[in-house]
Amino acid sequence: MNLIIDVGNTSVKIAVFQVDELLEKVTCSLEEFEANFEQLLKKHPKISKSIVSSVGFLSNLQLEIVKKRLHVLVLGPETPVPFINDYKTPQTLGVDRVALVSAAVKKKPNQNTLIVDAGTCITYDFVTNKNQYLGGAISPGIRLRYTSLNNLTANLPLLTKEIPELITGNTTNSAIHSGVIYGVLFEIDGVIQSYREKFSDLTVILTGGDANFLSKQLKSSIFAHSNFLLEGLNHILQYNSNE
């Protein structure tokens, strides 16, 4: 039984897997991590291995707490992965993107796959039907766009995400919603279309915190998958455990 720890920019996700089956998932803050970690160990005493992926900040003390209880794999640039990594600067490749590609080759083997992760940032990652990871793109996510408009201007308010009724905003608030949300939707649809022009058999997977919010608004045919990153981390842990 595996414990998956994903430390993101805004929260920590802790998941329990029995082989490939997700049994339980908890989302918490860094401050709540230790309590939730201990609670899951008590609830699932057969947990023996763990993988830690951190794009946020998990303290050395918190990591040592995990290492004292479980066999731990800390995902990094040198960790063996189940795909061919053709990224030119693998040392700078985010561990979250590594996990997403690992999930893609597990769930959609030997398929040209574009993974769109709509979170704090929107990342695009492409893996070929030969399990070769070529790279992708990074752009600001929905929350970053709203925050930037507020922080970098004198008079624009900070809004929370909302699907605009019309593309033509007739108030400042509706204009911001139109600019942010339609900007994201047009960007994602445009990127998908560009890949489809080169790869007619393209599979597209949408994941991340804003996946459900965006999925019904996108024109492109996609698979929305909220736990894709966690499944990728579990696959990496299994891959290394079997070596």
Give residues with Cβ within 8 angstroms of 151, minimum separation 6: none
Tell me if residue 210 is catalytic.
no
CA Rg value for the chain: 19
Determine if residue 172 is labeled as part of a ligand binding site: yes
Determine if residue 60 is labeled as part of a ligand binding site: no
Determine if residue 6 is labeled as part of a ligand binding site: yes
Distance CA 235, CA 124 (A): 20
Determine if residue 10 is labeled as part of a ligand binding site: yes
Determine if residue 48 is labeled as part of a ligand binding site: no
Determine if residue 25 is labeled as part of a ligand binding site: no
Give residues with Cβ within 8 angstroms of 26, minimum separation 6: 13, 14, 15, 36, 40
CB 90 within 8 A of CB 116: no
Determine if residue 13 is labeled as part of a ligand binding site: yes
From the candidates 20, 86, 96, 210, give the one annotated as an active-site residue. Answer: 96
Give the HSE-up count for residue 119: Cα atoms under 13 Å, Cβ half-sphere: 20
Distance CA 68, CA 96 (A): 24
Q: Considering only CA atoms, which of 31, 34, 66, 32 is closest in space to residue 52?
A: 66
H or E element in which residue 195 lies: helix 183-198
Determine if residue 8 is labeled as part of a ligand binding site: yes
Distance CA 41, CA 16 (A): 9
Determine if residue 11 is labeled as part of a ligand binding site: yes
Determine if residue 95 is labeled as part of a ligand binding site: yes
From the annotation, which residues make up the binding site for ATP?
6-13, 120
Any idea which residues carry the catalytic annotation?
A: 96
From the annotation, which residues make up the binding site for K(+)?
117
From the annotation, which residues make up the binding site?
6-13, 87, 94-97, 117, 120, 172
From the annotation, which residues make up the binding site for substrate?
87, 94-97, 172
